[in-house]
Structure 1
Amino acid sequence: MKFQYNLDDATHDIKQASIAAFLSAAMSTLVIVVAIVTSAEGVFGPFADPINFIDVALVVACWVGLRFYSRTAAVTLVIYFILAKIFIMLENGRPSGLLFTMIWLYFYWKGIRGTFAYHRLRKEADSSYRSTPVSFYYFVIPVGGIVLSLIILGVSLFGLGILAESGTFVSPEVTAGDKLSKSDLQLLLDEGIIRPDETVLYFYSTGLTSISDDGNLLTDQRVVSYEENRGSIRGLRSEL
């Protein structure tokens, strides 16, 4: 006998997805608050940052959207959940919590199935049915755009941090000398920017992919500034 997916089934799937979203937001809030209050370190260290409440706000917004049968909320929840897990995996260097991830993804996917089926079935039963209220265009879209912009900004900053740590991009921050890569230190030596008997204490460069573009450094002997001009490093200045 062929299974008939009806309006009750769609509503049930949406309800389960919304419960999963609510539990996710509640648990995340608890972990963040405890991490901040206790100044947690180690595994829970990254959660001790108020910026994590942006994640909670997005999940809560999707939870509310699911309660109103929003297809946008259901799709956003799945995409964001997958991206968040990928970033966590990249940050930790290994996958973790796969069973938990699959369980939550299962319920979130039911939200997508349920919301799309709900509106399709309502439309089939009533041709005049309007799935998107007018308030959606005046409130949900602007708020969603702001939240999405914050997420994109956070993801971009996170990605730049990963690329800087991997050496693909130059770090935009002042770097301690012992944190410079061997290749960067060798470049400074080869170009005569520092002497073999010098120790770099702090370094800063506005270069994008290479420190050869320009740089400012403090050694145990002097302050040095340099910049690249027509393929060679010039304008070398130092103060004793």
Structure 2
Amino acid sequence: MGTERALMHIKKAYILAIASGIIGILLTILSVLGIWNLGLDLYELLEVIIIFGLAFGISKKSRVCAIILFFYYIINKIIILFSNGSLVGLAIMVFFTIEYFQGIRGTIHYHKNLKLERINNENLS
């Protein structure tokens, strides 16, 4: 994977993480205000903060943040699936999971390509 493609996957991953965080904020507010009974409370905002933090880390090309977000998302969705047994939104979950995985690949390849560039520049000197 080239650097441009790696950067594209990184960008997609952190944009989706930001979108996920915004959705989390909106659903929490709707639930807390009683507009839509989802059983969410203000503690859900901690999850949103974690997601935004991981999105920031991914935007800075952090492999660790990309991996944590991927597994956090999968574990969270498994818990939701088992708690309510609904498969609503399964296609979206699969899409997010694939794109978060691509974000992992993007960060790994970005750093690999960066290291190769440094080695090539040192050999030219």
Q: TM-score, normalised by structure 2?
A: 0.89
Higher RCO structure (Cα 8 Å, ≥6 apart):
2
- Per the alignment, in what secondary structure is the counterpart of residue 58 of structure 2? helix
Match of 2:105 among 96, 113, 126: 113
Match of 2:15 among 19, 22, 25: 19
Match status 1:83 vs 2:83: no
- Unmatched tracts of structure 1, length 5 or more: 128-240
Displacement of 1:59: 0.7
Aligned to 1:31: 27
- Per the alignment, in what secondary structure is the counterpart of residue 88 of structure 2? coil
Aligned to 2:123: none
Identity %: 28
Q: How large is the Cα RMSD of the aligned pairs?
A: 1.6
Displacement of 1:93: 3.0
Aligned to 1:104: 96
Match status 1:6 vs 2:36: no
Letter in 2 for 1:28: G
- Per the alignment, in what secondary structure is the counterpart of residue 61 of structure 2? coil
Distance 2:17 2:110 in 1: 19
Distance 1:94 1:12 in 2: 32
Displacement of 1:94: 4.2
Distance 1:118 1:19 in 2: 17
Q: TM-score, normalised by structure 1?
A: 0.48
Distance 1:94 1:38 in 2: 22
Task: String of CA shifts for 1:215-239, please: whole Å, max 9, x gaps.
Answer: xxxxxxxxxxxxxxxxxxxxxxxxx
Q: Which runs of 4+ in 1 moved over 6 A?
A: none
Distance 2:29 2:36 in 1: 10
Q: What is the aligned length?
A: 120
Distance 1:87 1:15 in 2: 27
Aligned to 1:93: 85
Aligned to 2:122: none
Displacement of 1:52: 0.7
Q: Which structure dedicates a bigger proportion of its chain to helix?
A: 2
Displacement of 1:37: 1.5
Q: How does 1:149-168 map to 2 (within 5 A)?
A: none
Distance 1:90 1:63 in 2: 26
Letter in 2 for 1:58: I
- Unmatched tracts of structure 2, length 5 or more: 120-125
Displacement of 1:39: 5.9
